Amino acid sequence: MHFEIKILGSGSATPAWGRHLSSQILNIEHQYLMIDCGEATQFRVIYEKVKVKKLNHIFISHLHGDHYFGIFGLLSTLNLNGRKNDLHIYGPRGLDEVIVTNLRISNSVLGYKLIFHEINLEKNEKSKTLLENDTFKITAFPLCHRITCFGFLFTAQSKTSKINAANLPKNFPFELIRELKAGNDVRWEGEDFLSSKLTYTKEEKKEYAYCTDTIIQEGIIPIIKGVDLLYHEATFMEDNVHRAKTTFHSTASQAGKFAAQAQVKKLIVGHFSSRYKELDLLLEEAQQYFENTELALEGRNFTI
């Protein structure tokens, strides 16, 4: 099962030191999804040669500009390129109003349909499924920021047919193995081989959690515990912990501690403040508490 995350932007608030604003592309079994769409996202999409024709779902975490100001240009470019397929946009209340107002005032008519999905958790809801199909499931959960903000859990799920090779004769033809795995019975050297007796179904699951713009939320650990890959914001270093607290952000060390507590397999940190030209010290700070940490550098691919 193919599951890849490409980092398009990893900065916070303003572009600096060659870093752009928050955006990521997920490729799950060659279906494309976008998380956040900060300023210059379409430039990054072009530079990274992302196949946006395959993009059908965009998830916006919250309505601070560095996470969605790029969507206006992206929608326009998709239209200029002749897009016809529906585009689904998920985000907090007000996102649809902002986009529709922009299109109306600019007298822009899209040649494709926008379908808005407002993310709205009830008071006692800890998470909500936004989308589910045979390939993946996307769940939203609340983060703690200055305005309404959501994190996302992306679960790739598939069922594959496996063969009990030990029950097959030596030199059994490979093309007949493929037939068995496809559910077909076969005959070889005068003997019948039944797919139902020689194959079994194996379920495969891969998980990626996206936690941006938030103070540490231990309450979401049951939702993301043990994920294969966690993206967590690390806007500041620990010497700016007071600044992180007042702006509802996290430090690199806090992100590392949280990853360890959530027992994730790997952590990538991003949403770096423009005050940091070099990022090695942020990485070291996170690795003090969670060794398997990497920087969410732009252009990097992370494969689960």
Tell me which long-range contacts 110-115 makes (C-beta under 8 A, separation of at least 24). 110/75, 110/78, 110/79, 111/79, 111/82, 111/83, 111/84, 112/78, 112/79, 112/83, 112/84, 112/85, 112/86, 112/87, 113/86, 113/87, 114/75, 114/86, 114/87, 114/89, 115/86, 115/87, 115/88, 115/89
Q: Which residues have a Cβ under 8 Å from the Cβ of 283 and sit 6 or more positions away?
A: 252, 269, 293, 294, 295
* Torsion angle defined by CA atoms of residues 242, 248, 251 and 256, in that order, rounded to the nearest 10 degrees: 140
95-105 and 71-80 helices, crossing angle to 10°: 50
Model confidence, pTM: 0.87
Q: pLDDT tens, 31-45? A: 999 999 999 999 999
H or E stretch covering 80: helix 71-80
State residue 104's pLDDT score: 97
Q: pLDDT tens, 71-93? A: 999 999 999 999 999 999 999 99
State residue 126's pLDDT score: 93
Active site residues: 66
Q: pLDDT tens, 104-140? A: 999 999 999 999 999 999 888 999 999 999 899 999 9
Domains of the chain plus CATH, in order, are 3-161+199-303 (3.60.15.10), 162-198 (no CATH)
Contact criterion met (CB below 8 Å) for 204 and 160 = yes
pLDDT bucket at 178, cuts 50 / 70 / 90: confident
DSSP reduced 3-state for 202: strand
